[in-house]
Structure 1
Amino acid sequence: MALHPEIARIVASLPAPPPGPIDPAVLRAGEEATVPPPEERLPLHAVEDVTAQTAAGDVPVRIYTPVEADSYGVLVYFHGGAFFLGSLDTHDHVARSLARETGLRVVSVGFRRAPEAAFPAGLEDCYGVVRWVAENGQLLGWDGKTLAIAGDSSGGTFVAAVAAMAHDEGFEHITHQVLFYPSLDLDFDVDRYASLRENAEGYGLETAGLKPFNAFYLDSGADPADPRVSPIKREDLTGLPPALVVTAEHDPLRDEGELYAERLRAAGVAATVSRYAGANHGFVQNFSWIPEYHRVFEETAEFLRG
């Protein structure tokens, strides 16, 4: 189907990017300026900023508690932003909706970003926080059962990479992985996936923008041939946790996400693909106020309960 009319209207109104090199500070400031004040955000039982002490160092995290309970399943969330954008604040509304709909205690990770932090700093922060949750289960009220990881876009890259790292190190506590329109192959050859050409222009994220927006990460030492950077290049996907892969019809990255789920299934991993018609890349962050796209949080809850 065509791009959803509300999304199409907003995409058409976006200004052209400024000429010259991308300035991370300017783009970050623009993102932060759109964050609503705390009193206008989805209310939950509790939201708390703490520091997770991990093998990678101290990592800021924000813990979202949906309701008062004796114990909780935990979902660790990695925000998107091409590895240099996004923050606890810009994705606060996503974490709140995940907590409200799933009933899990959500731990959102303020990982280090490129270009200030070279690869694999951000990835190590994410993995470190997952292990911190398991090691501090009593403090966090973890029920010892559900420990899910979720992320959008580049956060989805981290989800796949963390799941693989955990498996390789014998850390078997991760029960589910949720990837919202993940970036899984940072080799941006336009002939690699049909969606890179089919959705190349006019849908927000454009194929021509993939290289420059990911350049800060790649230039920091992230090699696209490394499965930690491009998880779809991992040869052996057996033994990974069950996956929900959410894709958007009008997303250049659509096909790599769907291929990854297909490869998981071929390796014996339970993997579900859910393609959202009329949606574009970033719809979970940008357009979940549209009822048919808010459904993604309900679907995530159903997957985690199942």
Structure 2
Amino acid sequence: MICDNCKVREAEVYQAHSGKRLCRKCFMKDIRERVKKESLKIGLDKASKILLAVSGGKDSYVLADTLSSFIDSNKLIAYNITEGIQGYNRYEQIVQLKRYLSSLGIELIEDSFKQGVGHTLDEMMKYSRNKGLNVSACTFCGGFRRKLINNAGRTVSADYVATGHNLDDEVQAIIVNLIRGDIIRLIRFADKPIKLSSKFVLRVKPLRRVYEWETTLYAYYGGYQFQEVECPYISTKPTLRSKVRELLYTLEDKKPGALLSILDEFDKIAEKVRKQSELKEELPTCKICGEPTSYGREICKNCELLISSGLLDPHQNLPIS
């Protein structure tokens, strides 16, 4: 069957959400064009410096490849965190990621939970379990990753932090926060980022309209040697997000394009909410680490988790090193 776009090459990919059959070249071009369109809407083309938060997975490679196709690589700098998960974090994956980024002319800054927080994720989980806390690894990991990435963005004076979150990630996050009733975080998930603290570097998601299956296929077509092993904490303790993910996959299978429709409608609603919102006051700062925290909080969630786990003495009243 011939490609619906070029009408020349043999089709290899069927996009259920668009109804198109595409050849490999047209499929990859389609992804780059969608990422570019989203990036231009955000204003990434006008940025002086963009920090790419890269994990070494497929989305990281697609993020770097697509952005570098229309943004000068001198404006891009990558940042990677080793969480400290036995059997998951592998040195050779970082070497491969660094080699690929170097081929694009992008520098990679390496960091770790051990260096940036003082404890590996495995250590955090061990201590929290010993304290009888029922806290998922994702709660620890997500919070500290966001904190370290934001700190790195400030350090390099980045205008934006770009993450590799794809469409599946974005819609899952929307549904999870709807279930939790977290309106403030919901508003920040929309297509136009808002800045609630002078200490925040705006976070953007250029891949937010690209399906995960598309980033996977793009990565395979690109020949990237990415991290394919799933985090062991996901399988040992399924999270609310993983349950939402399965529900959304079922919906998408029955109605192709459903995830894109959810995202489009959410962006419209979020824009209206923002215009009526009074969230203009600067977020307070944590009295321990000095980083932004939620309204009404004196101590941020990250420091609270460390205190509850016995990894931080609240009476020290010192920033986490």
TM over 0.5: no
Greater per-residue strand proportion: 1
Computing the radius of gyration over CA atoms, which structure comes out larger, 1 or 2? 2
| Structure 1 or 2: more helix by fraction | 2
- What TM-score does the superposition give when structure 2 sets the normalisation length? 0.31
Q: What TM-score comes out, normalization by structure 1 length?
A: 0.32
